[in-house]
Each structure stands twice: as C-alpha cells, then as structure tokens.
Amino acid sequence: MTSPLRHLTEAGFLGKFYIDGEWRKPIGSVTAAATVINPATEQPIADVALGDDDDVDCAIAAARRAFAGWSMTPPAERAALLDRIHALLLARLELFAQALTCEMGAAITYARRAQVPLAAQHIRVARDNLATYPFIIPRGATAIMREAIGVCGLITPWNWPLYQITAKVGPAIAAGCTVVLKPSELSPLSALLFAEVMNDAGCPPGVFNLVNGTGPIVGAALASHPQVDMISITGSTRAGVLVAQAAAPTVKRVAQELGGKSPNIILPDADLSRAVPLGIGAAFRNLGQSCSAPTRMLVSRSHMEEVETLAAAAASELVVGDPLAESTTHGPIANRPQFERVQTMIGVGLDEGAKLVIGGPGRPGDLQIGFYARPTIFSNVCRDMRIAQEEIFGPVLSIIPYDTVDEAITIANDTVYGLGAHVQGTDMESARAVARQIQSGQVHLNYPDWDPNAPFGGYKRSGNGREYGLEGMEEYLETKAVLGFYR
C-alpha cells in the first residue's frame, strides 16, 4: 500500500486547499507552511500550506454560493452522499490509520481499532438520523420547521483528528449546511485525505471546503466573518473563549467542546478488580490525550492501598513505544509543546507532595528519541492541587481519597470543567443517584460500550452545545414557526 505521505505528495495536496470542488493553491499575499513533525522520531515529514484571510474569504464565498441549493436537496440525496463517504472511509481505513500514526503518534493498532472506525461511525449515525428526522412537525395550526442554519466554520483539534472532523462534518452536511473546515495545523494529513474522500464521494462543489491554517489567522477569520452563520470548535477552553469573542459581533451561533478534568467515582461497593484496571485504561486511552479522559479517580479512603496496587499493576501492562509496532499499546505524545506540558505537570505533582505510585518524569525505558511519556499515577492527591484541577492532557492520573459518597460528589464537581464523568458500583440504584448529581454532559456507569448516538458536550467551562447523535445534528438547524400553516 502507498504510504499516506507519498500519496499526498504525488497528488500535490500538501501545498493546496480544497475549495469549491477543486484543489487550489493559496491565494493569500503571504505564503506560509506548517512543518508536520513525526512525534515518534521528532523529525519533519511534510510541509503543509497555511492560509490567510483571502483564502478564508474564497472558501466562505464558495460555501455561501452552494448553500441555497444544498439546503433544499431532499434528505435522501444528502443521505446517499453520507453513505458514499462512510464506505470510502472504511475502504481507506489503513491509509487513514497510517496517517494518524505518523502525524500524531497514535499506536497503529489503536488507529485501526478506534480512531478510524469510530470516525466512520459519526458519518453512519448522521446518515441514519437524517433518514428519519422530521424537519416539519405540526403543533396545532402551527408548523414547526427545522432548517439548515447556513455556512458553518468547523475548527478541529490534533488529538482525534479524523474523529472530530467527522463528528462535525457528518451532522452539518446532513442538516443541509455547507462547511469550511480548519483542521489543526499540527495534524493536517488526515484532513487532506478526508477532503479527497469528500471529492471522490461526489460532494457538490462548495458544500465542503478545507483551508489549513493557524487559529489566530484562519480560525479567527472564520469566527469573525459576517458570512459564517455558525462556528463549531473542539479545543482548549482558552481557544474556545477566543473564538466566542471573535464571533460575538456577528451574533453567530457558537458550539464549543472544550477542556475537561473528568472524575471517576469508585463507589465503596464497586468491584475493585474490575473498576480500577478499566479506569486506568479509560484514563490513558489515546495516551490521556482526550478531553473527557477520567484522570481523577475518586476512591474510598479505606480502599486506597488496594487501589494503588491494582492501578500500578494495570499501568505496568501498558506498552509505550514505536507506534508502528503491533505490540505497542500507546505511542508518543502528539507534539513537543504537549510533551513538555506533561513533563511540567508531573514535576508539579511531585512538588505538591502527591505520592508517586508509578511512572514519573522522563521517557520510559531506554527510549531516547520521541515524545514518549511514562504512564504516571499519583495518589493521596488533595482536591486543590494543580494536578487535580488543571487539564494535563497526557498519561497522568490522580487518585483522590474521600470519606463519604456525598464528599465524593462534591469533589467530582469541584472543578471549572464538566465534560465527562464515570461512576462504578454494583448497586445500580446508588450509582444512578450519584450520576444525577454530577455536573457533566456525559456520565458513564460501569464502563458501558461507546454510544455514537449519546450526545456529548460540556457544562461550565467545558463548553456549550452538543455533538454526536440526534442532538449533534440539531446544533446545525434553526427553528422556524409558521403560524396558520395547517388552516
């Protein structure tokens, strides 16, 4: 199979954007490029063109021209396009998996098993929801209509590059919107491959557009543009605030999926032999580079010693190394700034006096090159420590003791975030009661299967709006009431 880099190079996509159904070179007055670094080798592997305000204007104009026609297409036509996109993603699974591994360090087995298939699921769910969605419903003599909101600017992150693209593009296209995508400049290769899928699937010109660029330039231009009707961003809370501020003068809709510091409450009656190892797996999924990773494990004080032993044993089973090796479970941190952030916060945990159970600063084993981090667990963490309050975005878990379940709920809610949460317990009535009191957009009881139809989003500074499932599509719809429609 041709490597993704060779494929993109031979096709000439690295220096181009996808606008109005064509691959185009940047038109801005200043030519810029982002160097993509392989986090396993720390070596540059590609240069990707970066756009500016002129390129954004061109893409938005194309999306605006296409909107009138696309928004009026029959749902069956839009569903057929989504069906073709879904099929192409699965057909090119290995190409995407290889791209994700070289651009952000995902272990190849994880890219094949999760990063790409789950991304394809978002497209399937958008298609299925579209097929049955009632865009007009009666309410007495009034018709309640749901209509595409317009041109949407989509800003996606580096940690789940393809997954976050499909989580936004799928429902936006299903709703009848047209889009301009700005993927992260740190992991842009999978986005270029996705643009090729959109083209090959027969997406009408202007319905999907891609402009690579930085947040302060392309992201800001999208957010402030008067011809953009909605912005959807997944990123840090800081980035979300900047986008919302830029969008405010044009009063556009802003949907934000931002940071998190998710708790995992291990109730006193939980089966620790199951709850703790699975909790380590959930916290360190994607090497902890997930905004909803449950990186605060709340444990009854009387169980602390047993939990520490089980947690250390589970973490020691993780294989950190070459992401292309079949035996590797976890590759490197995706980029140097994030690697340095993780190392800094491990040092903060030590300085704050938390008990180091396993891991610590530096690279694991004999690895000398690559942004590899040691899976690290701290115990006896106090709720006001920085490692208990700040999003680290890496393989660092804090075990926090509690004396009563009410105290555990208080600790769980004691952050500025509210994106995800977990609760483990054998008494389901008690577990459900705890879940109702947690301030977060999702709560997982006893590690259920992932549900692409479950809406995902945050309370507090974790954002607003929802992605995934039916609610994810409704973010891209506007409500119109026509009184007297049924007279």
Which residues are known to be catalytic? 257, 291
The dihedral formed by the CA atoms of 315, 319, 322 and 324, expressed in degrees to the nearest 10: -120
Nearest to 328 by CA among 110, 152, 48: 110
433 within 8 A of 445, measured Cβ to Cβ? no
Separation between Cα atoms, residue 412 and residue 262, nearest integer Å? 8
Residue 133 exposed, middle or buried by CB count within 10 Å (0-12, 13-18, 19+)? middle
Residue type, 264: N
Separation between Cα atoms, residue 425 and residue 423, nearest integer Å? 7
Separation between Cα atoms, residue 212 and residue 183, nearest integer Å? 6
Separation between Cα atoms, residue 442 and residue 447, nearest integer Å? 12
177 within 8 A of 151, measured Cβ to Cβ? yes
Tell me which residue has tokens 């479970």: 329
- DSSP conformational letter for 447: S
Nearest to 45 by CA among 14, 2, 23: 14
- Count of C-beta atoms within a 10 Å radius of residue 368: 7
Residues forming beta bridges with residue 263, ordered by sequence position: 296
Nearest to 162 by CA among 262, 85, 81, 53: 85
Nearest to 298 by CA among 360, 376, 381, 357: 381
Q: Which residues contact 31 (CB under 8 A, 6 or more apart)?
A: 49
- The token pair at 482 is 């026509």
333 within 8 A of 299, measured Cβ to Cβ? no
DSSP 32-101: EEEEEEETTTTEEEEEEEE--HHHHHHHHHHHHHHHHHHTTS-HHHHHHHHHHHHHHHHHTHHHHHHHHH
Q: Which residues contact 154 (CB under 8 A, 6 or more apart)?
A: 165, 168, 169, 172, 179, 180, 181, 182, 231, 232, 233
- The token pair at 454 is 């479950």
- The token pair at 312 is 């250390």
Separation between Cα atoms, residue 468 and residue 431, nearest integer Å? 24
